Structure 1
Amino acid sequence: MCADCETGMTLNLQMYCGKCGGKEDNQGFRVVRDMVLPMLCRGNKFTVVCDNFFCTLRLSHYLASCGCQLLGTMRINRKELPDEAKTIKGRTPDTTIFFLKGKCKLISYFNEKKKLVLVLSTCHEKNEIEVVEQDVSIGKEKMTIHKPQPILDYNHKMGGVDTVDQMTRYYTCRRRTNRWNIRALYDMIDIAALNAYKTYSNYHPCKRVDFLNNLSGALMKMK
């Protein structure tokens, strides 16, 4: 699913129907390309924020060639990652190492919980470190940590799809069924109704439940 992180509107989606033939190489790249292609054809420029299943150096180059940007986490087993970025032996917790290659910036952040976080960005121009206070599980005490700006931006912008999932659960037409195609239809209706509400409320602010009641009434009157 491709969603706008600011509005929560679903822009595109693709249903996974199982394996077809052999193992697909670069599936994550292909999915993102399919998702953004309609927007690229309209000449839109944007930043893609994705998790470590989709984020690769190849994807960053493809988006850059289209005038777009990428921000996402990376898996530690990606072949294009330098060994220094993946090494945690001897590193002090709450430290960051930056790697630059062209327009790409790789951030290797070894956090206070001794967990390695890898983020690839083409939308940050300089090494920015912002000091934030966060609760950590060690002794349930607050401590000041130095978190890179790209990671803060990723955490802030990654909620588009989660917002759609959350809002469709509040008001849904789903019913219990063992038929996967009917379940897919329910999800499509929920997503379409949410998009319709967000579009309508931009011009006519109203409660979502009132909008859905009026929408369902109008649909039942249709022949």
Structure 2
Amino acid sequence: MSRLKIIWSRCCSRGYTYNFEIYHGARIGETLKDSNFTMVEGVVLDLCKPLAKNGHVVAFDRFFTSIALLDELDKRGINAVGTILKTRVGQPIFTVNESNLPQDEYVAKFGGEPGMGIKGVFIWKDTKPFRVASNFHGSEAVKVQRKQRDGSFKTKSCPKAIADYVDNMGGVDTANQLRSYYERDRKSKKWWHRLFYSLMETCMVNSWITYCDLVKRNCFLEFHDNRILDPTKAAAETVLAVDPDEEIEVQTVETDPLGIYPSSDSSDDSYFDVLNNDVNDGVHLDEDEWLQ
């Protein structure tokens, strides 16, 4: 989320943006018209529509999490886990005060309305209480490594719901971080300028992640500069993913049949002089030749 614009995004843990929605004020559309969902709950339901009954795990923070949202996601076959405020309605009542919970200890309660899936609320005391709600986790516990103040790591036991939340959360923050490295976003009186540049940077980050998966691991700065400073070379590369077990084939496509643009591999300095800004005009075509 940035100043002057809000973009709701669904990203994987690596920062790849699968779906997004631009905030445009109060929502009075079909999603919320005949339901009791709040605006933020409707955003989650809209972004997660393609994930229904596919076994995916969705993680979100306490701004979105509610018991009603977990119930609806469970109806749609979507596993969900997220931190939750203790003031949210519908949660079970704990007899233990979470502030008085001993360090490295946890408590959990499960329940649900008749006909609804079983939901669990977990409270784990690390350095401070950590409350998580889930619609698919049980009472199982796992071992996790926690970094101490002196830099060492200590093995602790915590609910699997909390471990899965930590593993799956943070994709949106990663996407925002990658976009901010070499962004071209500048202050402007025209709001759509900032929106356009943000979406363009999202496309750049997605392209880089896909390139690393299909071709080779590459520095983001190098990938960014090749696509921005040398677009003719970037446009000439078409990646063909033939078989995951076979070597990826790269096919060079002719993108300049008229010879108007100089080749990026050319050693002739007469085409482009960076210092003098002298650009060769290339081939001049009159109007009849262009029409042909």
Matches within 5 A, 1:7-156: 7-19=14-26, 26-40=38-52, 44-84=54-94, 87-88=97-98, 90-101=100-111, 102-111=117-126, 113=127, 115-130=128-143, 132-135=145-148, 145-156=156-167
User: Which residue matches 1:172?
Assistant: 183
Q: Does 1:215 align with 2:227?
A: yes
Q: Cα–Cα, structure 1 residues 34 and 78, in superposed 2: closer, same or farther, change >3 Å?
A: same
Structure 1 residues 145 and 207: alpha-carbon distance in aligned structure 2, compared to 1, 3 A threshold = closer
- Per-residue deviation at 1:133? 4.2
Question: Which sits farther off after the overlay, 56-65 or 27-36?
Answer: 56-65
Alpha-carbon shift at residue 141 of structure 1 (Å): 9.3
Residue 169 of structure 2 is aligned to residue 158 of structure 1: yes
* RMSD of Structure 2 on Structure 1 (CA): 3.1
Give the deviation of 1:103 after TM superposition.
2.9
> How much does 1:131 deviate?
5.7
Hey, what's the Cα distance between the residues in 2 that align with 1:184 and 1:86? 47
Greater Cα offset, 90-99 or 163-172:
90-99
Percent identical: 24
Q: Distance in 1 between matches of 2:222 and 2:15?
A: 19
Deviation at 1:30, TM superposition (A): 0.5
Equivalent residue for 1:186, pick from 188, 192, 197: 197
The normalised TM-score by structure 2 is 0.63
Map 1:185-204 to 2 at 5 A.
185-204=196-215
CA contact (8 A) 2:10 2:47 kept: yes
Deviation at 1:79, TM superposition (A): 1.1
Aligned length: 213
In structure 2, the CA distance between the partners of 1:90 and 1:8, relative to structure 1 (3 Å rule), is closer
Q: 1:55 and 1:89, CA in 2 relative to 1: closer, same or farther beyond 3 A? A: closer
1:2 and 1:11 in contact (8 A); partners too: yes
Higher relative contact order (CA 8 A, sep 6+): 1
The structure that is helix-richer by fraction is 1
Unaligned runs of 5+ in 1: none
CA contact (8 A) 1:12 1:35 kept: yes
Instruction: Normalising by structure 1, report the TM-score.
Output: 0.80
Opposite residue 122 of structure 2, the aligned amino acid is I
